[in-house]
Amino acid sequence: MTEITATRTENTRLQRIGAVLRDVMTRPSGAIGLTLVVLHLVLANVSPWIVPYDYKAMDSLQMLKPPSGAHWLGTDHLGRDVLTRTLMGGREALLVTGIATPIAVIWGGFVGIFFGLVGGRLDEVLMRVVDAFLSLPWILKMLVLIVTFGTGIEVLIPTLAFFYGIPVIRIARAATHDVVARDFVSAARARGHGRITIIRRELLPNVLDTLMVEGAMRWSWMLLAFSSLSFLGFGVSPPTPDWGLMIADGRGLMSFAPWGVLAPVVALSSLIIGINLTADALAKALGIDRAQKAPV
């Protein structure tokens, strides 16, 4: 009997998740976006085994060669295979942001929901601190820490997770305010449920949709930040292949070797666009207006 209960109720939930996924896939933006994202994830995982060359193998005879049968996407200024480096150039970015995004959404989400429910003076103070953090440019916050502590993933992941969790607080808090005003929360309070139960049972399931869309957005912003840092020379250190770094390296030579820039440009753009298209479709499927959100 117990198990039947669990499965039946679970079924209703699974049905909803299934319906949302189907809805996402039936929208052109969702289908294209999800395909791009899945493709990137698969490539990032299998690329070390399928790339034609060693990513750090230099060849002084093959520098800045245009695309050919041997090097489909040409070579860079050190004679390294551009295809190989492009295929592997997203691994670091996906690893770092893939870990940092869930952490950011979870901590920001919980803080936001909690203060949204509790409210009062404490909440006012917290919001001023959140505002203060948001008023500082992200790149400044990140760079100061990176310059001090180094660019390893053990620095990047907590740094990104911390700073990108702050705007999530705001979103989660606003979403919580909308839910708290509804009678089912009053009903739960009137029955005598504690705060933790109310958060877990009443608020979280209703805020989760917003947080999921927010998570997708944070992921794309984080990728943007990560590759910008690499581009500026504060991210991944050579010779590890990274799109941002490859674009920075190839930029000076792009008048006669544009392939060295275009390959990572296409790769990075397609991933970020894929995430955003998916987020758009997901938001529409869940009935959330993503466009109402500001760029911060």
Partner 1 sequence: MLRMLLRRLFLGAITVWIVSVIIFAGVEVLPGDACTAFLEREAKGKLLENCREAQGLNRPAVERYIEWASGAVRGDFGVSANGQKSISELVGNRLRNSLLLAICALGVGVPLAIFLGVVTGLRRDKPVDLFFSTAAVFAMTIPEFVSATVLILVFSVWLGWLPGIVLTSAGAPASEFFPEILLPVIVLAMVMTAHILRMVRSSVIEVMAGDYIQMAILKGVPYWRIVFRHALPNALLPAINVVALTIAWLLGGVVVIEVVFNYPGLGRMMIDAISDRDLPVVQAIALIVATVYVGVNLTADLMTMFLNPRLRTHALRGS
Partner 2 sequence: MSALIDIRDVSVGFTGRDGRTREVLRNIDLTVAPGESVGLVGESGSGKSTLAFAAMGYLKRGLRLLGGSAAFNGNDMFARSRQELERIRGGQLALIPQNSGQSLTPTLRIGAQLGEALRLHSALPVGQHGARVIELLSQVRLPDPEGIVARFPHELSGGQQQRVAIAMALAGDPVALLLDEPTTGLDVTTQAHILELLRDIAAERSMAMVYVSHDLGAIARVCDRVVVMYAGEVVLEGPTRQVLRAPAHPYAQGLLASIPRLDDATLPVALDGRPPAPGEAGAGCAFADRCALVQDKCRATRPPLAAVESGERVRCFFADEARRDRGRRKGAAPVRYSRDSAMLTLDDLSISYARPRLIDQLLGRSSDLLPTVDDISITIGKGETLGLVGESGSGKSTILKTIAGLLPPAGGTVAVGDHPLPRLVEQRDPNQLRQIQLIFQNPDDSLNPRHTVADILEQPLKLYYGLSSTDLRARSVQVLERVRLGAHYLDRLPSQLSGGEKQRVAIARAFAADPEIVLCDEVTSALDVSVQAAVLDLLNDLKATQGTTYVFVSHDLAVVRALSDRVAVLYQGRLCEIGQTDHVFGGVSHPYTEVLLGAVLEPDPDTAPTLTADDVVERAPPAQGCPFQRRCPRKVGTICETDTPPWQRNGGDHAIRCHIAREDLA
Contacting positions for partner 1 (CB under 8 A)? 29, 128-129, 131-140, 143-145, 147-148, 220, 224, 227-228, 231-232, 244, 247-248, 251, 254-255, 258, 261, 265, 268-269, 272-273, 275-277, 280, 289, 291-292, 294-296
Q: How many Å separate Cα 230 from the centre of its chain?
A: 16
Nearest CB to partner 2, comparing residues 195 and 251? 195
Structure-token pair, residue 195:
């705060």
* Min separation Cβ 205 and partner 1, Å: 25
Residue 228, binding choice from partner 2, partner 1, none, Cβ under 5 to 8 Å by partner class:
partner 1
Which residue type does 35 have? T
State both tokens at 179. Answer: 């839910």
Q: Note the maximum CA span of the chain.
A: 78
Shortest reach from residue 290's CB to partner 2, in Å:
20
Interaction between residue 177 and partner 2 (CB under 8 A): no
C-alpha pair distances (Å), 141 with each of 165, 227, 254: 13, 16, 31
- Bridge partners (DSSP) listed for residue 81: 75
User: How many residues sit close enough to partner 2 to count as binding (CB under 8 A)?
Assistant: 25
User: Under DSSP, is residue 81 helix (H, G, I), strand (E, B) or coil?
Assistant: strand
Choice between 19 and 39, CB closer to partner 2: 19
Smallest distance, partner 2 to C-beta of residue 208, A: 8
Q: Is 190 helix (H, G, I), strand (E, B) or coil?
A: helix
The C-alpha atoms of residue 221 and residue 108 are separated, in whole angstroms, by: 15
Q: Please say whether the beta carbons of 57 and 295 come within 8 A.
A: no
Which of partner 2, partner 1, none binds 26 (CB below 5-8 Å, type-dependent)? Answer: none
Q: Tell me how far, at minimum, the Cβ of 218 lies from partner 1, in Å.
A: 13
Shortest gap between Cβ of 142 and partner 2 (angstroms)?
Answer: 36
Q: Cβ distance 244 to 235 under 8 Å? A: yes
183 contacts partner 2 (rule: CB under 8 A): yes
* Sign, Cα dihedral of 82, 38, 158, 217: positive
Closest CA to 113 of 194, 191, 202: 202
Which element (helix H / strand E) includes 278? Answer: helix 259-286
**Which of residues 16 and 177 has its CB atom nearest to partner 2 in the complex?**
16
Contact of residue 191 among partner 1, partner 2, none (CB under 5-8 Å per partner type): partner 2
CA 82/CA 79 separation, integer angstroms: 9
Residue number with CB closer to partner 2 (125 or 232) = 125
Distance of CA 169 to the CA centre of its chain: 16
254 binds, among partner 1, partner 2, none (CB under 5 to 8 A by kind): partner 1
Cβ closer to partner 2: 141 or 189?
A: 189
Q: Which amino acid is at 25?
A: M
Quick one: tokens of 62?
């093959």
Binding-residue pattern over the window 190 to 229 for partner 2, x denoting contact by CB under 8 A: xxxx-------xx--xx-----------------------
Contacted by 182, from partner 2, partner 1, none: CB < 5 to 8 Å by type: partner 2
16 binding partner (options partner 1, partner 2, none; Cβ < 5 to 8 Å by kind): partner 2
* Residue 221 · residue 208 · CB < 8 Å: no
Please report, as ranges, the residues that interact with partner 2 according to CB under 8 A. 1-2, 4-6, 8-9, 11-12, 16, 182-184, 186-193, 201-202, 205-206
